[in-house]
């Protein structure tokens, strides 16, 4: 299999991207890497060119650029060239740690939507920290690809998330929940009330109803369906709170003088374990589900190990046949999933 890599996207690109490529190359003997970016810089880092092909470009898309404009104007950027290679069948998947909006736009406009999916969305795998059962992770989508959603889009996220949980996390009949203001059926705005009805009416999904943000990390559901706005808020609130608390524990240790410092030193392995459980980069990057190939955006601050974990995730996406299976399912259930059809039914 071939993975097209935007070698210039990310806070530590190309250094950590190239190092991550080499880690993954040594781990997976069946991956060939097509790297797009500055040849000189890449060559200077690369220790071994086995199964690594470099395609030179000195054009890059920056983190702050307006995504859609950037991908239209910079067709010879490392990001767009990598996506184009996938479109042209020269690679099987697209990796970037760059501008999230631009990766999303390249996924949708260059690689293309799956026919029958109206709005591809951003899926993230987060840790289930309940300590109960053997489901270490859950999938949540959309995390912010779309600022506005219709009920049918949320319904489609349910199916996409369900496929991801089954294929990638190995869950049988994963539970699917809808993020909402409260657990009762009639909670939320009109979009969420209608989405509840659609999800609940599905014979395929194991829908368990509304879930609240308080229970996300506590194993509320294997698949959490949300509009991009609330998904983004939940993810960032979780990240912000976790970071703040770790910082405060460290500060509290310092403030409380010698005794607490000894306590802190003795507690170090425990805190490290905690940090490890919170580190969801082990499960890879954020996936654009609903497009015609694996497209994965890893964190801009990702170091080599997180980059390599993302390649492991892409490797599994390809070997598990995730995208072709979604395509086949959506084609076979076109009418049941179509936003147009569902809207028409709701109007009757």
Instruction: Please report, as ranges, the residues that interact with a copy of itself according to CB under 8 A.
Output: 129, 131, 144, 147-148, 179, 181, 187-190, 192, 212-218, 228-230, 232-245, 248-249, 251-253, 255-256, 259-260, 262-271, 273-274, 277-278
Q: Which residues contact 45 (CB under 8 A, 6 or more apart)?
A: 14, 15, 18, 19
Nearest approach in angstroms of CB 216 to a copy of itself is: 6
- Residue 187 or 303 with smaller CB distance to a copy of itself: 187
Nearest approach in angstroms of CB 116 to a copy of itself is: 24
- Residue 274 or 339 with smaller CB distance to a copy of itself: 274
- Residue 46 or 123 with smaller CB distance to a copy of itself: 123
Nearest approach in angstroms of CB 211 to a copy of itself is: 10
Residue 77 bridge partners (DSSP):
59
Nearest approach in angstroms of CB 338 to a copy of itself is: 23
- Residue 7 or 253 with smaller CB distance to a copy of itself: 253
**Residue written as tokens 């990598």?**
82
CA dihedral over 235, 238, 239, 240, signed as positive or negative: positive
Assign 3-state DSSP to the chain and report helix, strand, coil percentages, each to 5.
50, 15, 35
CA distance 342 to 328: 20
Q: Under the phi-then-psi rule, with left for phi > 0, alpha for psi from -120 to 50, and beta for the rest, what region is 330?
A: alpha
- Residue 57 or 100 with smaller CB distance to a copy of itself: 100
Confirm if 69 and 90 have CB atoms less than 8 A apart.
Answer: no
DSSP H or E segment with residue 190 = helix 190-200
- Residue 83 or 216 with smaller CB distance to a copy of itself: 216
Nearest approach in angstroms of CB 310 to a copy of itself is: 21
CA distance 111 to 293: 7
Nearest approach in angstroms of CB 262 to a copy of itself is: 6
Supply the DSSP string of 51-90, one letter for each residue: TEEEEE--B---TTS-HHHHHHH-TTBHHHHHHHHHHTTS
């Amino acid at each position: 299999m071939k993975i097209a890599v935007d070698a210039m996207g990310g806070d530590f690109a190309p250094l950590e991207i190239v190092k991550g490529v080499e880690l993954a190359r040594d781990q997976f003997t069946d991956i060939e890497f097509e790297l797009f970016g500055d040849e000189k810089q890449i060559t200077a880092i690369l220790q071994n060119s086995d199964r690594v092909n470099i395609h030179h470009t000195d054009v890059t898309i920056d983190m702050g650029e307006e995504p859609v404009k950037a991908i239209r104007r910079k067709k010879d950027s490392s990001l767009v060239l990598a996506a184009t290679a996938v479109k042209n069948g020269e690679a099987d998947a697209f990796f970037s740690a760059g501008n999230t909006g631009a990766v999303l736009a390249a996924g949708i406009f260059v690689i293309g939507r799956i026919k029958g999916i109206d709005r591809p969305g951003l899926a993230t795998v987060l840790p289930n920290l309940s300590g109960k059962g053997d489901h270490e992770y859950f999938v949540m989508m959309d995390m912010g690809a779309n600022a506005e959603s219709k009920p049918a889009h949320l319904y489609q996220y349910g199916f996409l998330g369900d496929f991801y949980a089954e294929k990638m996390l190995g869950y049988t009949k994963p539970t699917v929940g809808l993020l909402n203001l409260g657990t009762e059926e009639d909670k939320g705005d009109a979009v969420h009330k209608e989405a509840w009805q659609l999800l609940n009416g599905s014979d395929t999904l194991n829908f368990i109803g509304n879930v609240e943000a308080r229970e996300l990390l506590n194993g509320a559901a294997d698949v959490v369906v949300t509009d991009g706005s609330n998904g983004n808020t939940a993810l960032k609130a979780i990240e912000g709170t976790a970071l703040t608390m770790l910082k405060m524990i460290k500060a509290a240790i310092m403030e409380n003088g010698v005794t607490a410092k000894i306590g802190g030193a003795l507690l170090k392995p425990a805190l490290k374990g905690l940090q490890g459980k919170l580190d969801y980069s082990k499960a890879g990057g954020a996936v654009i589900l609903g497009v015609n190939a694996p497209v994965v955006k890893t964190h801009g601050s990702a170091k080599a190990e997180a980059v390599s974990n993302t390649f492991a995730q892409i490797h599994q996406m390809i070997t598990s046949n995730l995208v072709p299976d979604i395509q086949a399912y959506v084609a076979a259930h076109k009418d049941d999933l179509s936003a147009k059809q569902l809207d028409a039914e709701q109007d009757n």
